[in-house]
Structure 1
Amino acid sequence: MRFFFHHLMAWPYVTEEMVNKYDAAWVTFPNKHYDPEKGVKLYERYLSELEYAEKIGFDGVCVNEHHQTAYGTMPSPNIMAAALASRTSKVKIAVLGNAIPLRDNPLRIAEEIAMLDVLTNGRIISGFVRGIGPEYHSFSKDPTLSRDKFYEAHDLITKAWTEEGPFEYYAEFTKLRYVNPWPRPVQSNPHPPIWIPSQGSLETIDWVAKKKYTYLQTYSSISNVRRVFTMFKEATLKYGYEASPFQMGWALPIYVAETDEQAKQEARRHIEYLFNDVFKMPQRMFFPDGYLTLKSTQKVLESKKGIGTSYLSFDELYEKEYVIVGSAKTVREKIKKYQEEFGFGNLLGMMHFGTLPHHLTIKNMDLFASEVMPFLRNLGENSMNEVAAAADNT
């Protein structure tokens, strides 16, 4: 297994009064509540936590993109990846991901990821996302076009990475006389790895399986994780191959303490802040009309029921295993159980969440790195060998 520290860089200063006053922590939440002086210290703190992940043995660190929200203060994940490029030397840096339908010219993303890949000598993982519903309100974009724009942007970016320029690119949304990006990425077999985080739409699962990219499941109950990974593995078989563990990833908040009860006590309020205070938004904002296809609407709405749109207590999140919280023994036993059932090879732990203070974040990371990761490293090794053997025989 490979272990990544996924940081959301949440704004931790949303008060109960603010939560009660506004119907969302996204889009319309007034930016007068952002204090740049606190932001300076917060960025330095969060970057230091990501830098520390390399020192204690994590395989990678992850940043992502959200706009006009207290939920995450990274409107440009590529800028954060650039900051990490000079603060780290070994870990993979996963940009999870660029919301490619929101860029008017996706060629800029091809250029920026190539720059990052050269800066890091090939340590970049390029995540592509459509962006969740609030992003389409933030940029006044038509959500009914998001999937078509996503596919077109993806095709342009990968072509720019893999074909010699200059060449022309004329499609529905993007028309370019010259595509000839400098620099080109270091990773050229055939391009930087592409990971696709998703809420579990049927179309995304099928498309990722067809492309043989890495699929990441986020913010889900364990029953939904089970359903989605089963669907993904069935989709890969439909396309004539068996998914390797490293083609599947699971992202969720994780907290480790000395005992189960201490872990619950220390994590409770900070988990609830993440899922309720800064995730808060009306359903019409989370899923604007046309964002989901009719085919996926029922499944996605069922799987995401309550997230962001109603209060979810820590106890419910714990019982349904949206989060894994406990002693090192409990955490590693749960992860081992689900890895053996689902077969994923990438675990993206949100070791910081919500208002979790720095000292508890570091304690969480240290316990996870020393008492959980070493016991789980070899999980999935047999599956990898079986997939490799099958590939050799085809």
Structure 2
Amino acid sequence: MSFYDHPRILRASGVFQTHPERFDEFIASQIEDHGVKRGHRLIVLNPARGVFDGDGAGGLLHEMACEMSVPGILAALEFASQYVGPRKIRPSWLFGSGAARAKLDPQSANEGSQMEVGIVQIMQSFGWDNMTDAQVYEDETKLAVMADELGYDHVWTVEHHFEDYSFCPDNFVYLANLAAKTKRIGLATGACIVPWNLQPLRIAEKAALLDLLSGGRAILGLGRGLSRREFSQFGVSMDESRERFDEAAPLILEALETGFFPEHHGKFINQPKAPLRPRPEKSWRDRVTQVAMSPDSGEQAAKLGAQMMAFNYKAPEQQRQECADYATSFRKYHGRDPRPPLLTDISVCDSDPKRARENAEKYCAGYCLSVLHHYEMLGEHYKEAKGYKAYGDAVDAMRAMGKDGIAKSYVDLQVWGTPDQMLRKFEERWEYMGAYGVLCSFRFAGMPFEVSERSIKLFAKEVLPVLRSWTKEQGPRKASAAA
């Protein structure tokens, strides 16, 4: 029998995240219930921070309990001689190699200390003449491998179906392919659309498998979807998207944190308890994001404990307010600050300012038009669809602007230009937003591959190092002064 399968492995609930003082009480009760005596060992595995141990009958120091702030803490009570050995801990025996890896993971050690910078892959053939689906994947894969070599933090891949706008029906499969071709970059679903994946257990399984294959590099981004045509093709009503997401998402996160999908009998999900295999090797805390493009999605992201991810198409004041509301709700639910939101731009980076503007006005505007078409952003259905009030409220104003006006406004909101111009725009955003993470898409709307390649390389050379000097505590002005 493996250590993990031993009947004395105990699973503590997420209550210790907000009430760490109850951890001692829990341990004491388990010691009594399981007949642990002096001479046994208490092994506590915190997937995010490593492995701690203490005497079985002696309880656990309160200071240590306060560090156990990850939902789904695993408390393992076992004989020292049988599995651990005298006064020696073997993390790889406890929870696979991931336990040792988590303890030494530099990303975990430096969470929140540096600005996050990644790329987003749209997987689009809209705007190209005679672009095959195979060529789309070949080009995007090349850019993802470049991003890994150039030092970007993560690559985000969308889930979309059926149209030239975007087609990546299973971003877990694509990211698993990238796992074999890359060495260090984070691999993120941006996002997995929960209502279209009718068995949330499968989402948890695929996330766990991707994390295993990539050596712990997976990031789970979740969303609820927006395109009426995609909902229709899957036979799912848009009116149900919020309820489906709200029911499924917490179950997925619980499964990834505890290793078991919980028994659940709800409106849309009827699921017996099921073990998650492969087993999660380290905590998913701070590796979950949610696309939040409306106030109610921001509230749900906060409730889940997910990092907020958004695309930049709103007025700065509206974007600032929605991010601030998310942070307030996150503190209310979790008693701590959230990680800075991730904000996505459709970008062009070029040493020639004239060429940068021409490409932005052509390709960024083209991408905006593809969004208007795919999502039917001017459609009356948003006014009636349940859970999409924010979109319905914007329809009349967008119609008044017209497609050309919308595209011009969209281009103006994106960050593009020379490296210096882009840095100034990022700094201006910091001034009204506070800390945030940067995500850029460099391939879209018929853009020649050499333009995408030039952008991703120049950005990495001249923009990325400067952004990395910005921290939540030390923004761009202080960082520049220090330099």
Instruction: Please indicate, yes or no, whether the TM-score normalized by the shorter chain is above 0.5.
Output: yes
From 394, 409, 412, the equivalent of 1:316 is 409
Cα deviation for residue 47 of structure 1 reads 0.6
The equivalent residue for 2:151 is 57
The equivalent residue for 2:176 is 82
CA pair 376-40 structure 1, distance change in 2 beyond 3 A: same
Cα deviation for residue 5 of structure 1 reads 0.7
- 1:244-255 → structure 2 map (5 Å cutoff): 244=338, 246-255=339-348
CA pair 262-241 structure 1, distance change in 2 beyond 3 A: farther
The equivalent residue for 1:360 is 451
User: TM-score, length-normalised on structure 1?
Assistant: 0.82
Larger radius of gyration: 2
From 252, 256, 267, the equivalent of 1:172 is 267
The equivalent residue for 1:122 is 216
CA pair 87-286 structure 1, distance change in 2 beyond 3 A: farther
Q: Which residues of structure 1 form unaligned runs of 5+?
A: 16-34, 385-394
AA matched with 2:164: A
The equivalent residue for 1:231 is 325
What is the CA RMSD across the aligned residues, in angstroms? 2.8
Cα deviation for residue 96 of structure 1 reads 1.1
User: TM-score, length-normalised on structure 2?
Assistant: 0.68
Q: Secondary structure at the match of 2:344?
A: strand
Q: Is the 8 A contact 2:344 2:439 kept in 1?
A: yes
Rounded to whole Å, the distance in 1 between the matches of 2:380 and 2:276 is: 36
CA pair 348-301 structure 1, distance change in 2 beyond 3 A: farther
What does the per-residue CA deviation read over 1:359-394, in whole Å, with 9 as the maximum and x for residues that have no partner?
Answer: 01011111111111111212124169xxxxxxxxxx
Rounded to whole Å, the distance in 1 between the matches of 2:348 and 2:399 is: 22
Rounded to whole Å, the distance in 1 between the matches of 2:213 and 2:430 is: 34
Q: Is the 8 A contact 1:143 1:289 kept in 2?
A: no
The equivalent residue for 2:355 is 262
Cα deviation for residue 150 of structure 1 reads 0.5
What does the per-residue CA deviation read over 1:304-340, in whole Å, with 9 as the maximum and x for residues that have no partner?
Answer: 9369983446543233x1x112111110111022124
Say whether 1:3 aligns with 2:117.
yes
AA matched with 2:148: E
CA pair 136-383 structure 1, distance change in 2 beyond 3 A: farther
CA pair 141-371 structure 1, distance change in 2 beyond 3 A: same
Length, aligned pairs only? 357
CA pair 243-192 structure 1, distance change in 2 beyond 3 A: closer
Rounded to whole Å, the distance in 2 between the matches of 1:242 and 1:167 is: 26
The equivalent residue for 1:388 is none
Rounded to whole Å, the distance in 2 between the matches of 1:307 and 1:276 is: 16
Rounded to whole Å, the distance in 1 between the matches of 2:408 and 2:296 is: 32
CA pair 253-306 structure 1, distance change in 2 beyond 3 A: farther
Q: Is the 8 A contact 2:250 2:304 kept in 1?
A: no
Q: Secondary structure at the match of 2:165?
A: coil
Q: Which residues of structure 2 form unaligned runs of 5+?
A: 1-114, 476-483
CA pair 81-286 structure 1, distance change in 2 beyond 3 A: farther
Say whether 1:373 aligns with 2:464.
yes
The equivalent residue for 2:241 is 146
The structure, 1 or 2, with the larger RCO (C-alpha pairs under 8 Å, 6+ apart) is: 1
